[in-house]
A and B are shown apart, each in its own frame.
Chain A
Amino acid sequence: MTPTVRARLGTVLAAAVPVVFVAVLFGYPVAAIVGRGLAPEGTLDPEPLRRVFTDPALRGVVWFTVWQAALSTLCTLVLALPGAYVLARLRFPGRSLVRALVTVPFVLPTVLVANAFLAVGVPRSLGAILLAHVFFNYAVVVRVVGTRWRNLDPHEAEAARMLGASRWRVAREVTAPALRPAVVAAATITFLFCFTSFGVVLFLGGPTRTTLETEIHRQTTRFLDLPLAAALSVVQLAAVLALLWLVGRSERRAAVPARLRAAREIEHAPRTPGAWVLLTANLLVMTALLLVPMAVLVVRSLTPPSGFGLDAYRALGDLRRGSTLFVPPLEAVGTSVRYALAAATIAVVVGGLAAWAGARSRSRWLDGVLAVPLGVSAVTLGFGFLIALDEGPLDLRGSAALVPLAQALVALPFVVLLVGPVLRSIDPRLREAAAMLGASPGAIRRRIDLPIAARALFAAGAFAVAISLGEFGATTFVVRPDAPTLPVVIARLLGQPGEAAFHAAMAASGILMVLVVVAVVVGDRARVGRFGDF
């Protein structure tokens, strides 16, 4: 075997792991539920699909799903792009804390956030849906676009200034084109999340506002119309794939050149009155939009009926008689952390291999494959798990492995987003230099690629922990009743009557938020500054 063939083979094998992982844990379950719905007797029955496009009510659902997602994406971009600039290019005390806090909403369970919004007094409405979607996806824009913003060569904008372009003109003609791929990527992720958003629409939309996702849920659980639910899933999946294909076609993302720059070249303290206004306005938006709902949860958790204090937290240690919980809620903390660490380990190994294989090939199809789970309903996935993974070698029913596997699947695209660019940006001359010093290809991987990627892998792992801690949609289908995670406990507590349960839910939310903040802060500390797409 020549060295080239061997290197190719290595890349193929590395790519095979994530492909098989996604195929088995995502492709197969989704195919199973779709197959059972559309071809219950083994032959294709087009009737349910036809109904989706002819029934006026269902057409309305499709239309509402599309435009609410588009409008949510637009609102998110408008509010978060200035925030991305402020957090990427302005220097102010407490910035890294703000960056971490802004990220927390992204990984909070929807059920919790919906309740936070209702607690603040937001009425069930379209506005509530939009607001919640901005709340969740603000971090996507800040992180994806902000990272790119820090990577831009500041000299390009300065060169344009020296050629006589005003600030506004530089923004339009130099900065905007350079940011475009990142903005498109952030908008795509946001759109996918809003397109398949479940909890937000269910809890905040009120009974008349239905999206494909909530309709799938309704048809499956309420009317037991599995064929129609499957048809809706197919339409949703087709829309997601079409969008990803379009975006992938129009954006051939070039690897951001990794040049080390002094921080003072990239960022500066606000100097002009305009910069101060921008900073203040954005901090106000972040506070009102992101921090207040989270703060309300914390305040509620600290003010149970017994008065201000930690009573609600203490109560988490008891298993109250007659509750639907099988274990004291506090046990869920340990369960959540164990599951999240396992899920993060899986996601880092699988995602790291995917990023490594992706970095060695020019095509981005692997990124696309791994992005698909982002845009698919947790409901479809959860039911798919139940239907598909119950026989033969894949009989994972009741297995504790199912939870971390499902969470790893959700975290996987983000691991690839964080690690891929770092690996792609390794200067090939480093590898050549190592080879000239006598390092074998294996030694180069071990001594060059791995140490450089290690920090990114660790950061990605910490972020995967945060995502897994907050994951609700898929977890709720596969979790064992006697070993619930924190979000599941919160949902159960919220489903119980009584003040005490409510405050216990808030206390559990408080613990969850602290865990998530710690994971995000640890991850951000470990990041190789400017590298990574997320």
Chain B
Amino acid sequence: MAATGAATEAATGAATGLEVRELEVRYGGAVALAGIDLRVGPGEVVAVLGPSGSGKSTLLRAVAGLEPPTAGTVTWAGEDLRRVPPHLRRFGLMFQDHALFPHRDVAGNVAFGLRVQGLPTAEVRARTEAGLAAVGLAGFGARSVRELSGGEQQRVALARALAPEPRLLMLDEPLGALDRALREHLVDELRALFARRERAVLLVTHDHEEAFALADRVVVLHAGRVEQDDDASTVWSRPASAFVARFLGYNVTTAFGTRVAVRPDGLVWSAAPGPAGPGTVAVTVVDRTFRRDHFRLRVATAAGETLDVAVRDAGSPAAPTPGTPGTLTLVPGAAVALT
């Protein structure tokens, strides 16, 4: 096996960047991560997506070297990092709660990693200012970190993590606690920052919109195991398991015969009883919610299954009220078969 693995690596030239193999982390008896395989190449942005408690943060900490794995390996460009302490890995980590140093001002925080490298003062100062400017905080250097807003703290933490030019940048819920407008703004900024540098980026999040907006590749984590590891668009269009499908907002249903996953916009609602046959099912409306550009109906089949369906018909402002009977039709090609 080992020989085959090495051969594959040589063939694909994959011995660059981060490679995690068979990683396992246990806390006492509890398994936090098990059998994790993960690769992040230079220039690649990978998002680990999962609900809280799925082991996302533990994965980052294990890669960082802050949490000793109970089994498995973490390598960079083929070098085993088991014996490399966190501060010599040249990885950056942005904490969810920022973990800014309260006893240093903004510049002192950003400069920390540069000073530790022993760079000349003038260079430290110049790169600190450039780093702050890059996150839109030029001139904030002398401020106390205690008087910053949440968004500003986020940017300082980002500038601090980026300043020493880490070869792998890790972000724990990078947009976690920010308001919606700020998040959308920061998504663009982060993408620009990621694109500008030939750097591997590994971020974890519980928000799939954030994962798809930021990452090239998405790894879905569930209960300490990888459920799916694919291109962002593949994960979105072809969820590999019922868990991933539900997590992304799909309906998982057997109403149309075999078990399939189908998005709310992969179903068509009609108030008239339609032709009975494959791809249709009779339902009753249970609930409806307004979703900016569409209505979301929750409907129930005769068998008691509930499904979500998007109604985008702008011509009929009166969306059906609870109790209305109707028919659901499957949009051809919208169903994803689940094994």
Q: Which residue of A lies closest to B117 (CB)?
A: A164
Q: Flag A144-187 by CB within 8 Å of B: 1 or 0 each.
A: 00000000010110111111111101100110011000000000
Evaluate contact between B92 and A158: CB separation under 8 angstroms: no
Evaluate contact between B116 and A165: CB separation under 8 angstroms: yes
Binding site for B on A (CB under 8 A): 153, 155-156, 158-167, 169-170, 173-174, 177-178, 264, 271
> Which residues on the B side are within 8 Å of A169 (C-beta)?
87, 116
Evaluate contact between A163 and B164: CB separation under 8 angstroms: yes
> Which residues on the A side are within 8 Å of B163 (C-beta)?
163
> Which residues on the A side are within 8 Å of B90 (C-beta)?
164
Evaluate contact between A264 and B27: CB separation under 8 angstroms: yes
Q: Which residue of A lies closest to B88 (CB)?
A: A164
Q: Which residue of A lies closest to B160 (CB)?
A: A163
CB within 8 Å of A: which B84-127 residues: 85-88, 90-93, 95, 97, 99-103, 112-113, 116-117
Evaluate contact between A161 and B101: CB separation under 8 angstroms: no
Evaluate contact between B99 and A163: CB separation under 8 angstroms: no
Evaluate contact between A162 and B93: CB separation under 8 angstroms: yes
Evaluate contact between B101 and A162: CB separation under 8 angstroms: no
> Which residues on the B side are within 8 Å of A164 (C-beta)?
87-88, 90, 113, 116-117, 164
Evaluate contact between B93 and A158: CB separation under 8 angstroms: yes
Interface size bucket, B side? 20 to 34
**22 residue pairs A–B, Cβ–Cβ below 8 Å:** A153-B97, A153-B99, A155-B95, A156-B101, A158-B86, A159-B101, A159-B160, A160-B116, A161-B86, A161-B87, A162-B87, A162-B91, A162-B92, A163-B116, A164-B88, A164-B116, A165-B116, A166-B87, A170-B87, A174-B101, A177-B103, A178-B102
> Which residues on the A side are within 8 Å of B88 (C-beta)?
164
Binding site for A on B (CB under 8 A): 27, 64, 66, 68, 85-88, 90-93, 95, 97, 99-103, 112-113, 116-117, 160-161, 163-164, 166
Q: Chain A at the B interface: mostly helix, strand, loop or mixed?
A: helix
Report the minimal beta-carbon distance from A350 to chain B, rounded to whole angstroms. 33
Evaluate contact between A162 and B27: CB separation under 8 angstroms: no
Q: Which residue of B lies closest to A155 (CB)?
A: B99
Evaluate contact between A165 and B87: CB separation under 8 angstroms: yes
Report the minimal beta-carbon distance from B67 to chain A, rounded to whole angstroms. 10
8 additional contacts (CB under 8 A) given A163-B164, A165-B112: A156-B100, A158-B93, A159-B100, A159-B160, A161-B85, A162-B166, A165-B116, A178-B103
Assuming the A-B contacts A164-B87, A264-B27, A271-B68, are A159 and B116 also in contact, with contact meaning beta carbons closer than 8 angstroms in the complex? Answer: no
> Which residues on the B side are within 8 Å of A178 (C-beta)?
102-103
Q: Which residue of A lies closest to B91 (CB)?
A: A162
> Which residues on the B side are within 8 Å of A170 (C-beta)?
87
Task: Please measure, in the bound complex, the distance between the C-alpha atom of A160 and the C-alpha atom of B112, giving whole angstroms.
Answer: 8
Q: Which residue of A lies closest to B96 (CB)?
A: A155
Task: Please measure, in the bound complex, the distance between the C-alpha atom of A348 and the C-alpha atom of B278, giving whole angstroms.
Answer: 77
Task: Please measure, in the bound complex, the distance between the C-alpha atom of A165 and the C-alpha atom of B100, giving whole angstroms.
Answer: 15
